[in-house]
Amino acid sequence: MYIIPNFDTYVLAPPLGILYLSAYVKKYCSSQVIIIDALRDQLSDEKIIEIVKKENPDIIGIHCLTAFYNQACGISRKIKEIKEKNYIVHLGGVHPTFMPYSTLKDSKADFVVAGEGEIPIRKILDNNLNYRNIQGVYTLENLKDDNTMADGNPILKAETVSDLDTIPMPDWLALPPASYPHSPHAVIARGNPIGIVMTSRGCPSRCTFCSSNNFYKGIRQRSVANVIEEVKFQIKELGIKELQFTDDNLTLKRDYIIELCNALLENNIKINWSTPNGVRADKVDKEVLKLMKKSGCYLIDFGIESADNQILKNVRKGETIEQIDMSINLAHEAGMITQGNFIFGLPGETKETMKKTVDYAVHSKLDRAGFFALRILPGSDLYKKMHTTCQTDYTHSFISKPDWIPDNLTEEEILRTIQKAYWSFYFRPRRLWNLLNDIPVSQTKYILKSMINYHLFKLW
């Protein structure tokens, strides 16, 4: 059994990692799998416990990101307290991968998995639920409180599946996209239900605020044929009306994105698609953008972070604002909706650089923008450097409060800049008009919730 904990968020989507694990164990271990998405179904812990007792699974895995760490640990403890049976409980996902010791302590789980879950869970199921001596599986016996192994060596992540095509497509029938509310990524979509497809795992870039590079190390890609098969399945069997490629970097390899776009065209797949997780601006060019548009890409998202080149350098972004701006203009010319994401409070940030970023965003060709406060995510290089000096409090809203504040700024200044950025960005006739036209009625509730989350209604 897999559990996705419930927590207060307006960002909701099918849990891809769990759906991959479910499909994998069904195929390779012939096991039955039950998934409880307590977030989608808004289930209380009591209700989850009731289902656990009723279904009586052999082993229970809990998905855990930093954003819902407390809830994941809470449900784990409650399952371990069930008197009738000593359930085997484990946690996996990004947070336990980088914080295995505290996760084990706080959750009272039997073990945690560091890294990708496919191979460890297969070994555990093949081994009569014995979880000892498996790479990437940690208990309080083989782990020290500084997250090193008992012999003092850094922990090893789980073995990975090198050929992604051997992993079956996510277990979509278990949690079909149509069963999710109409705002999966908190972005405004054109069609519902929305299908999610990931063509790769990993990112070779080294941005210091991101944990992806340390989680995966390098990049593995599915074959284009394998991706197209899933896209066709999602359109035909799941009735999806829009497609989101949620790779860390869909356009990373030029040949690959060209092959993918051509395959969508050759297979006559007519669907609006987008890249809501952002692509690197230095990994697109005029020809690629035009082809993407031709094959159905209507929205492209860029991770911009800051308009100040020194800050981009400080966080090892590996791009300049001039390069980024050029790609935004090219995407705009190609006829796509352009979206950019910015982070305030990165190392080197001052009032002047924040103003520069807001001014840039407002006057750019971006149609949509997201402005965030810096979170110091476990697994990121910034976390390694700063975790002793920042306040990683997992209880507050994950997006509306910075974990760390540069010397010459205050939290209030950062949060006010975010509010100001949203208002000045969107209160432009062109953007406001386009946005209002794009928001489907079904999504209004989620948009309002996100605005409240960002304190956008507070006046300063």
The site for ligand B12 (CB under 6 A) is made up of 9, 11-13, 15-18, 20-21, 39, 61-63, 65-67, 90-95, 113, 116-118, 121, 185, 198, 210-212, 246, 248, 277, 377-379, 398-399
**Euclidean distance between CA atoms 123 and 115, whole angstroms:** 15
- The verdict on 339 binding ligand SF4 (CB under 6 A) reads no
CB of 210 or CB of 374, closer to ligand SF4: 210
Neighbours of 310 (CB within 10 A): 10
For residue 222, the minimal CB distance to ligand B12 (Å) is 11
Q: How far apart are CA 5 and CA 288, in angstroms?
A: 39
Site for ligand SF4 contains 249 (CB under 6 A) = yes
* Contact call for residue 306 and ligand SF4 (CB under 6 A): no
Shortest distance, CB of residue 212 to ligand SF4, whole angstroms?
Answer: 4
Residue for token pair 């996100």: 450
User: What letter represents residue 251's amino acid?
Assistant: T
CB 121, min distance to ligand B12, A: 6
Judged by CB under 6 A, the chain residues 423 through 452 that form the site for ligand SF4 are none
Nearer to ligand SF4, 207 or 382 (CB): 207
Q: How far is the CB of 322 from ligand SF4 (least distance, A)?
A: 18
Q: 401-404: list long-range contacts, CB under 8 Å, 24+ apart.
A: 401/373, 402/344, 402/345, 402/373, 402/374, 402/375, 403/374, 403/375, 403/376, 404/345, 404/374, 404/376
- Which does residue 303 bind out of ligand B12, ligand SF4, none, counting CB within 5 to 8 angstroms by kind? ligand SF4
Interface with ligand SF4 by CB under 6 A: which range of 27-35, 210-218, 235-243, 407-415? Answer: 210-218
Where do the DSSP E strands lie in 103-228?
Answer: 111-113, 137-138, 194-197, 200-201, 220-221
Is residue 332 within 8 A of residue 365, CB to CB? The reply is yes
Q: Does 303 bind ligand SF4 (CB under 6 A)?
A: yes
Strands 242-245 and 272-279: parallel
CB 357 within 8 Å of CB 344: yes
Shortest approach of ligand B12 to residue 71 CB, angstroms? 11
Q: Which does 121 bind (CB under 5 to 8 A by kind): ligand SF4, ligand B12, none?
A: ligand B12
Backbone angles phi, psi at 147, to 5 degrees: 65, 25
Q: Which residues bind ligand SF4 (CB under 6 A)?
A: 203, 205, 207, 210, 212-213, 248-249, 280, 303
